[in-house]
Amino acid sequence: MIGAGVLLFLKWREWKLDAADARIATRALLGLLGILTLFVVASIVVGVVSWLDYRREEAEFLNREVEPGFRSPPDTRNLWRWTETYVGLFILVVYLVVAAFVEWQVIPRMF
């Protein structure tokens, strides 16, 4: 999406696009990038929730079959230690930076 946006920004005059159409297309690509960002972040969140559920079941099973207290259930207070937290945050921050750059730097130059 970002590559297509850069190409559009560089070639819209050569392609004889109207400035308004070029801005609409740029914002449409930004919207598609936003949808992709939401999909990836939602996938990460769903994966974490599934893992938490699996770990709870695993802890219950091991505590029942091995001995009580053998395995403790996962603690969501450790969220800051999980790689998924930082991958999701990085993806969101990149999208926000790209969106801000497009709106404040790219779109104003398409006239």
Q: What is the pLDDT of residue 89?
A: 97
Q: What is the pLDDT of residue 80?
A: 92
Mean pLDDT lowest among 2-6, 73-77, 103-107: 73-77
SS3 18: coil
Percent of the chain scoring above 90 in pLDDT: 95
Q: What is the pLDDT of residue 46?
A: 97
Q: What is the 3-state secondary structure (H, E, C) of 43-105?
A: HHHHHHHHHHHHHHHHHHHHHHHCCCCCCCCCCHHHHHHCHHHHHHHHHHHHHHHHHHHHHHH
- The overall average pLDDT reported for the chain is 96
Q: How confident is the model at residue 71 (pLDDT cuts 50, 70, 90)?
A: very high
| pLDDT, tens only, 29-66 | 999 999 999 999 999 999 999 999 999 999 999 999 99
Q: What is the pLDDT of residue 5?
A: 96
